[in-house]
C-alpha cells in the first residue's frame, strides 16, 4: 500500500471513529475512545496541513506561509548548489579522492577482468578481423607512396648511406661482392659465345694496327699466324687466369682493387649532388606505377597474414590475444618509474581539470532545475521525500490518538 493512501486511511479512520462515538451510548469506554479519536483527528489534520503546505496551498487556498518550496525556490536552489560546491563536492574532497586513486593500476585491473573473458576476446578478434578486411588498401596506397617518397626526399641519405657502407665494409661485404662479381665474370668468359666474341674483337682491332719497318713485318706475320679462334681462346684463358689470381686472398692486385672500391663508395656517399639525384630518383620510383603495384601486393600480403593470424587465434579462443595483453601488462608493470611518472601526469591533469571546472557542478544543477516548471519540481520532490512525509501524517494521527487517550484519562483523575 502506498504511503499516501495509508495516511489518508489513517485520517479517515480517526474521523469515522470520532463520528461513531458521538452516536454510541455514553459510557467510560466510549468517552475514552472519543477523546482518542478526536485528538487523532486533530493531529492528522494538522500534519496533513503541514505536509501539504510544504508543496502547495492546502485546498487551493492562498493561506499565508504555505507553498513554501515554490515561494522559496531560488533560495532552496542556491542553498543546494552551495551545499554541493562547498560541502558535498568541494574542490578539496575531489582532489583528495583523485590523489588516492592509482589510475594505471585501476585501469589495468579493469581491463584484465574484461579481457579475461573468452567471449570478450572473441568479440575483439572478430572486430579486428572486420577492421582489417575493410581497410581500403587501394585508397591508402597513394598516401603511403607519398609518405615514403617524402621521407626519402627529406631524409639524410648521406648519413644513412655512410652508416650502411661502413657496416658493409666492416662485415667484409665488399670482398664478398668482388668475389661474386669475379665469379660471374668467369662464368660469362667461359662461355663459347664469349670466346668467339673475344676472338672477333681482337682480330678486328689487330687489323687496324699500322706499324712500319721490321716491327710491322713481324706483327703482320703474327697476325697471319693466328686466327679468331686462337685469339679468342688466348684472351679467354688470360682473363680466366687473371680472375683466379685476383680471387686469391694474397694477391697484391686484389687489395688494390678492394681499396679502389672502398674509395669509390665513400666518394659516392660524400657526393651531395649524386646523393640528391639518387634520392630524387628513388622518390620518383616510389611514386611510380610499378612501385605502387609492388606496395599494393605487399599490403594485400600483409592483410592476408594478419587475417590468418587472427583466425588462428580465434580458433584457440583468443589465447594469443590474452598472452599479448599479459606480456604488455607485465612490461608496463615492470617500468615502475614510468608508471609513477604517468600516474602523476594523469592525476595532475585531472586535478587541474577539476579545479578549472568545479564551478560547472553548480551551473549544471541550476540549469537542470531551471528547466523544470513548478509542477515538475513539486512532483520530483514528492517522489523523493513524499513517502517519509506521508508517514509523518500517519504518525501524527496515531500519536494524537494515544495522547487523546492519555488526556482523557488525566481529566478523570480527581485532584481535590
Q: Where are the domains of the chain?
A: 5-66+374-412, 154-289
C-alpha cell at 236: 679467354
Residue 269: exposed, middle, or buried by beta-carbon count in 10 A (0-12, 13-18, 19+)?
buried
Return the pLDDT at 1: 44
For helices 173-189 and 228-247, the axis angle rounded to 10 degrees is 160
Q: What is the pLDDT of residues 354-390, one digit of tens each?
A: 777 776 777 777 777 677 776 776 676 666 666 667 7
pLDDT tens-digit readout, 189-210? 888 898 888 878 877 776 666 6
Is the CB of residue 77 less than 8 Å from the CB of residue 369? yes
**Most distant pair of Cα atoms in the chain: their distance:** 182
Read off the pLDDT of residues 240-277 as tens digits, 9 standing for 90 and up. Answer: 888 888 888 888 888 888 888 888 878 877 877 887 88
Distance between the two ends of the chain, CA-based, in angstroms?
49
| Residue that has been written with the C-alpha cell 610499378 in this structure | 290
Cα within 13 Å of Cα(157), Cβ side = 22
Look up the pTM and report it: 0.49
Q: Are 138 and 303 in contact (CB under 8 A)?
A: no
Q: What is the CB neighbour count within 10 angstroms for residue 376?
A: 11
What the block records as the C-alpha cell of 104 is: 594505471
15: Cβ–Cβ under 8 A, 6 or more apart, which residues? 37, 41
Amino acid at each position: 500500500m502506498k504511503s499516501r493512501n495509508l495516511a489518508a486511511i489513517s485520517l479517515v479512520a480517526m474521523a469515522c471513529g470520532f463520528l461513531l462515538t458521538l452516536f454510541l451510548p455514553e459510557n467510560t469506554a466510549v468517552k475514552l475512545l472519543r477523546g482518542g479519536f478526536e485528538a487523532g483527528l486533530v493531529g492528522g489534520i494538522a500534519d496533513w496541513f503541514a505536509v501539504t503546505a510544504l508543496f502547495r496551498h492546502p485546498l487551493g487556498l492562498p493561506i499565508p506561509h504555505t507553498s513554501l518550496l515554490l515561494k522559496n525556490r531560488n533560495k532552496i536552489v542556491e542553498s543546494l548548489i552551495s551545499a554541493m560546491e562547498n560541502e558535498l563536492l568541494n574542490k578539496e574532497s575531489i582532489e583528495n579522492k583523485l590523489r588516492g586513486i592509482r589510475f594505471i593500476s585501476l585501469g589495468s585491473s579493469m581491463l584484465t577482468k574484461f579481457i579475461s573473458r573468452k567471449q570478450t576476446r572473441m568479440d575483439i578478434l572478430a572486430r579486428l578481423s572486420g577492421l582489417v578486411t575493410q581497410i581500403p588498401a587501394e585508397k591508402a596506397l597513394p598516401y603511403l607512396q607519398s609518405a615514403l617518397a617524402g621521407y626519402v626526399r627529406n631524409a639524410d641519405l648521406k648519413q644513412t648511406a655512410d652508416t650502411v657502407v661502413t657496416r658493409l665494409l666492416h662485415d667484409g661485404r665488399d670482398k664478398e661482392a668482388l668475389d661474386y662479381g669475379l665469379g660471374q665474370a668467369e662464368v660469362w668468359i667461359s662461355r663459347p659465345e664469349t670466346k668467339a666474341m673475344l676472338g672477333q674483337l681482337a682480330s678486328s682491332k689487330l687489323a687496324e694496327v699500322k706499324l712500319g719497318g721490321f716491327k710491322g713485318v713481324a706483327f703482320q706475320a703474327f697476325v697471319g699466324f693466328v686466327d679468331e679462334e686462337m685469339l679468342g681462346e688466348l684472351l679467354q684463358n688470360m682473363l680466366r687466369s687473371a680472375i683466379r689470381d685476383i680471387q686469391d686472398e694474397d694477391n697484391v692486385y686484389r687489395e688494390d682493387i678492394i681499396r679502389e672500391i672502398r674509395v669509390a663508395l665513400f666518394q659516392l656517399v660524400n657526393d651531395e649532388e649524386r646523393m640528391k639525384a639518387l634520392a630524387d630518383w628513388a622518390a620518383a620510383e616510389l611514386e611510380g606505377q610499378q612501385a605502387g603495384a609492388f606496395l599494393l601486393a605487399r599490403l594485400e600480403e600483409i592483410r592476408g597474414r594478419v587475417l590468418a593470424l587472427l583466425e588462428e587465434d580465434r580458433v584457440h579462443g583468443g589465447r594469443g590475444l590474452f598472452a599479448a595483453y599479459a606480456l604488455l601488462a607485465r612490461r608496463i608493470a615492470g617500468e615502475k618509474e614510468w608508471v609513477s611518472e604517468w600516474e602523476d601526469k594523469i592525476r595532475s591533469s585531472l586535478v587541474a581539470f577539476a579545479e578549472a571546472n568545479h564551478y560547472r557542478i553548480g551551473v549544471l544543477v541550476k540549469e537542470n532545475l531551471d528547466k523544470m516548471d513548478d509542477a515538475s519540481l513539486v512532483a520530483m520532490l514528492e517522489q523523493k521525500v513524499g513517502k517519509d512525509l506521508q508517514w509523518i501524517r500517519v504518525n501524527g494521527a496515531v500519536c494524537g490518538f494515544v495522547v487523546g487517550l492519555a488526556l482523557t484519562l488525566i481529566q478523570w483523575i480527581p485532584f481535590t
